[in-house]
Amino acid sequence: MTSNSPKINKLPFLVTGGCGFVGRHLINKLIPQGSDIWIIDNLFTGKHPDIWLDKKFKKQTNKDKIICYQSDEQRIFFVNDDVINALTEDIKFNNLLPDFSDVFHLASIVGGRAIIDGDPILVAKDLAIDSLFFLWATRRVKRIKRILYASSSAAYPIHIQNNKKHIALQEAMINFSEKFGLPDMTYGWSKLTGEYLSRLAAGRYGLSIACVRPFSGYGEDQDLSYPIPAIARRVALRENPLTVWGTGKQGRDFIHIDDCIDAFFIIMDKIHDGSGCNIGSGKILSFLEVLEVFSSLEGYKPEIKPLVDKPVGVTHRYSDIQLISKLGWKPKISCDEGFGKVLIAAKNRLLHDLVSYVASNGKSDINNFDFSGIDKSEFLNNDSLDQLKDSLKII
């Protein structure tokens, strides 16, 4: 077994927020290990398992908010509830959830800059989610083997991310024994608080906990509220001018979701004291450079139109990866390769939209569908929309 795979064990896994972007990818990595998996998710931003779960898992029962999916040798339990409600009920009655091996706490209210800047009090609910989670975990110390807490690079002080000189963010820049700077909005505060609770739960209650600080994660099935899939869609449509939020000079450290999930398992194996570890490429890429990569992949040169009234966050944010490199991890997927995958996925989604449009409105109305990036002639010559839809690799 490779070092970046979870160890096979008899106890089930728990993934809070398991129907979200990160959670879905994590569960697909956990499934081959054979243990049962429990998911808690209220589907605030997540997708129902009926949509994305491997079809080998057949729905067996649907009782009291718990759905069981079963394959020949494995079960996945989906608790369709707010994590606060589910864990509170388990604390009160101690009868909902079993003992667990690895617990992955991903549940949070999160999105792109529009939600982080636009509705910070809604995002502040994450403070309640995390405090309740750690209360639950410390009530069942002997019933959990390990915990992974999903923190964020948003926990780092924003004042060191707005300087003219780029500074790689090191784990030691978050130090609870000294003064620390203001994190990024309420989302950053919640993650900083979650890391503090992780330290307390590990140090005072003896739980094995690792905190991960992913930087700008992206992937083929990520929601359009995030910049990379949103840019990919605009490029797939061959928009000209091509818009970018802010000046486009703000920079981020982009990491593909597959690399991110691989890092989870390595960090969980090596860190147990509640401390944090960066997950990033160690490289900074401005959004103007992101547009350049995407337009080059698509083979056109659009005019760039800055949207200076849009929220952009800090000037630059990228990781120091010395610690995670010492743990034995490095990213495998370059931005060129990863962005290429996201662009293909964006085109597939648009093709799917076009198929659905034609199915509803007929082929004679196809030219009214705003989709300049794809040749629509193939749809006019295809007699079987269902066959075409099945042939598309929709993410």
**Residue 212 maps to a domain:** yes
Give yes or no: residues 41 and 136 share one domain. yes
> Which pLDDT value is given to residue 228?
96
> Which pLDDT value is given to residue 5?
46
> Which pLDDT value is given to residue 96?
82
**Residue 231 maps to a domain:** no
Domain that includes residue 274, residue range: 13-220+255-282+318-331
**Residue 247 maps to a domain:** no
The residues, any chain, with a CB within 8 Å of residue 43's CB and separated by 6 or more, are 19, 80
**Residue 373 maps to a domain:** yes
The residues, any chain, with a CB within 8 Å of residue 265's CB and separated by 6 or more, are 3, 4, 5, 6, 29
Whether residue 157 is preceded by a cis peptide bond, meaning omega within 30 degrees of 0, is no
Whether residue 241 is preceded by a cis peptide bond, meaning omega within 30 degrees of 0, is yes
**Residue 292 maps to a domain:** no
Domain boundary among 290, 309, 331: 331
**Residue 303 maps to a domain:** no
Task: Please state the separation of Cα 2 from the chain's center in Å.
Answer: 23
Strands 209-214 and 273-279: parallel
- Where the chain has pLDDT below 70, the residues are 1-9, 163, 362-395
Give yes or no: residues 363 and 324 share one domain. no
Q: For residue range 126-163, what is the model confidence (pLDDT) as tens digits?
A: 999 999 999 999 999 999 999 999 999 999 999 889 86
Given a contact cutoff of 8 angstroms between Cβ atoms, the answer to whether 221 and 352 are in contact is no
> Which pLDDT value is given to residue 362?
67
Give yes or no: residues 61 and 132 share one domain. yes
Give yes or no: residues 140 and 177 share one domain. yes
Given a contact cutoff of 8 angstroms between Cβ atoms, the answer to whether 27 and 39 are in contact is yes
Give yes or no: residues 369 and 259 share one domain. no
**Residue 153 maps to a domain:** yes
Give yes or no: residues 89 and 128 share one domain. yes
Residue type, 380: L
Give yes or no: residues 323 and 369 share one domain. no
Given a contact cutoff of 8 angstroms between Cβ atoms, the answer to whether 42 and 17 are in contact is no
**Residue 182 maps to a domain:** yes
> Which pLDDT value is given to residue 116?
87
Give yes or no: residues 57 and 140 share one domain. yes
> Which pLDDT value is given to residue 357?
73
Domain boundary among 293, 310, 331: 331
Q: For residue range 72-103, what is the model confidence (pLDDT) as tens digits?
A: 999 999 999 999 999 999 999 877 899 999 99
> Which pLDDT value is given to residue 346?
94
